[in-house]
């Protein structure tokens, strides 16, 4: 035993100073390499547009978005380091988990798909695809994809936008849109989106390929 202890003492363990090592503070909740799972309240962050990830890190740090673990974790980090974190996870091009197996009813699916593909002009609600891309995989540099996310997470975030618990830089377009959604719309959207299969390419559409129907505030890249 003494010999083993001496050997251990003579060969101290050194933690590698890499982004993968530092990112373990994130992957403890968001899953290995930021992949997450298809259930729960923690979203996938691997492969999301860098500008979007950076903006959300800023929002958590600066109080526009609150989470009991995220907000204190980021409180003292600089803009440059938040960019480094965002760049690291944006570069993780990894397979998505399968969609949730719960299949929405025909009425729920019809309601959700109408909002996703066409919006609702009578309530001035733009189609989801008009901002998030026709494949719903997001648009560079700052619009996230809507597929591959847990139903409960999507439901909670749309509810938070609607009530103002989640905010963004002005003009806060998602708050405006979410306020026009009925509770039944939010439930249908979250259930339908979580059940959709992922396209062959999950890469966000190129910058400039989508012209959003309204202006949204975001931080400079």
The tens digit of pLDDT for each residue in 101-154 reads 788 999 999 999 999 999 999 999 999 999 999 999 999 999 999 999 999 999
In a domain, 65, yes or no: yes
Is 26 within any annotated ligand binding site?
A: yes
Task: Report the distance separating Cα 157 and Cα 137, nearest Å.
Answer: 17
Is 29 within any annotated ligand binding site?
A: yes
* Burial label, 65 (beta-carbon count in 10 A; 0-12, 13-18, 19+): buried
In a domain, 207, yes or no: no
How many domains, in total, are found in the chain? 1
Tell me the pLDDT tens digit for each residue of 51-72. Answer: 999 999 999 999 999 999 999 9
Tokens standing for 211? 């012209």
Is 128 within any annotated ligand binding site?
A: yes
pTM of the shown model? 0.88
119, 131 Cβ separation under 8 angstroms: no
Residue 38 predicted with pLDDT over 70: yes
Mean pLDDT of the region 26-34: 92
Band the pLDDT of 37: cuts 50, 70, 90: confident
In a domain, 203, yes or no: no
Residue 38: CATH number of its domain: 1.10.760.10
């Amino acid at each position: 035993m003494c010999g083993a202890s001496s050997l251990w003492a003579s060969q101290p363990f050194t933690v590698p100073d890499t982004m993968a090592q530092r990112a373990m503070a994130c992957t403890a909740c968001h899953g290995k390499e930021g992949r997450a799972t298809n259930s729960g309240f923690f979203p996938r962050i691997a492969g999301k547009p860098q500008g979007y990830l950076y903006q959300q890190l800023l929002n958590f740090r600066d109080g526009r978005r609150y989470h009991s673990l995220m907000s204190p974790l980021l409180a003292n980090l600089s803009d440059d380091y938040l960019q480094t974190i965002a760049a690291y996870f944006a570069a993780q091009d990894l397979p998505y988990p399968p969609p949730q197996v719960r299949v929405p009813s025909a009425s729920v699916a019809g309601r959700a798909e109408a909002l996703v593909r066409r919006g609702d002009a009578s309530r001035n609600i733009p189609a989801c695809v008009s901002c998030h891309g026709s494949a719903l995989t997001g648009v560079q540099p700052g619009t996230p994809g809507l597929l591959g996310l847990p139903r409960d997470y999507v439901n909670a975030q749309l509810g938070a936008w609607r009530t103002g618990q989640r905010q963004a830089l002005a003009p806060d377009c998602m708050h405006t849109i979410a306020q026009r959604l009925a509770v039944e719309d939010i439930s249908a959207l979250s259930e339908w989106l979580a059940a959709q299969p992922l396209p062959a390419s999950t890469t966000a559409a190129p910058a400039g390929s989508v012209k959003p129907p309204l202006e949204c505030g975001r931080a400079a890249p």
